[in-house]
Chain A
Amino acid sequence: MLAAALFCIGMLGVLVRRNALVVFMCIELMLNAANLTFLAFARDRGDMTGHISAFFIIAVAAAEAAVGLAIVIAVFRSRGTVNIEEIQTMKH
């Protein structure tokens, strides 16, 4: 499939950057890459179950974004930063 190449390059762009809130946007990008492959294979096989999967991924992504951003706000309140380099409490 032609979409496969796009999926790979999307992945590349997603994983390189490690910074602040942008990490969350990158997670959204990865979910979209998964969506794209689902839809591409659905088109390829003529099977619409992939569309259902894409729908569920979108719903879960919405939930994840809400919870994740709430956590970011909470962390920002207590630490005053959103730089992931400076948030190391859980490091042994």
Chain B
Amino acid sequence: MVVDVVGFLPHATIHLPGPFRYLWLQPICCANSPPRMSPEQILFWVFAVATVFSALGVVVLKNPIASAMSLVATFFFLAGIYVLLWAHTVAALQVLVYAGAIMVLFLFVIMLLSINDVGPAVQLSFSRLLGAVATAALLAALVLAFRKLPTSDLAWANDPARLASFGSIKEVGAIMYTQWLFPFEAVSLLLLVAIVGAVVVAKSRI
């Protein structure tokens, strides 16, 4: 299924990434109306806005469980964006590891501790005000820095063979198990140490 994407990639019909391939049997945008948004861009903005709002929910919501749920939503929307970035493998990992494993851990701990402090979510104090100001400054600096990035022409995406394999499990695995084999093993060791350490720390009496 080939969708003509107007105005997003310079001169290209591109293949939509895997799971989205069958969503548009009829292309949404017509080839002769240049400034229309491509389906990819529409999806990106939907996911982006949803991600930002659920991330803000994590910060603003009072109840830790509500925060955790908002975080799950954030992870799912982010996974959607990853798919739009041709990173299917990482998107799948994101849903499995974050939304599956890490969030269950969080919910488990929240419910285990049964925290019921019902103070306001954000109390004003000098240090917090300072933190907010510093955050705003950082945001401004980052926005300025990102605006100076050169816009890439995505020339590599004109090669259909490369585009087809980009981000697939096969390619990622090939790189990971050849070029990055040692870091991979180191990460497995790190996970083992972390698990043992977590048990030791959380245990009341050893």
Contacts and interface: CB of A to CB of B under 8 A. Distances in A.
Co-assembled chains A and B? yes
B144 to A, nearest CB: 10
Interface of B: 41, 44, 48, 51-52, 55-56, 58-60, 64, 67-68, 71, 74-75, 78, 81-82, 85-87, 89-90, 93-94, 97-98, 101-102, 105-106, 109-110, 112-113, 115, 117, 121-122, 127-128, 131-132, 134-136, 138-139, 142-143, 146, 149, 152, 154, 156-157, 162, 166-167, 171-172, 175-176, 179-180, 183, 187, 190-191, 193-195, 197-199, 201-202, 204
Interface residues of A, number: 65
Contact of B67 (A22, A42, A49, A81): A22
Contacts, number: 210
24 contacts: A2-B44, A3-B85, A4-B146, A13-B55, A15-B138, A16-B131, A21-B106, A21-B109, A22-B64, A25-B67, A28-B71, A29-B58, A29-B71, A32-B75, A39-B87, A40-B85, A46-B154, A51-B167, A51-B175, A60-B187, A65-B106, A69-B198, A70-B201, A73-B113
A9 B94 CA distance: 20
Nearest to B49: A6
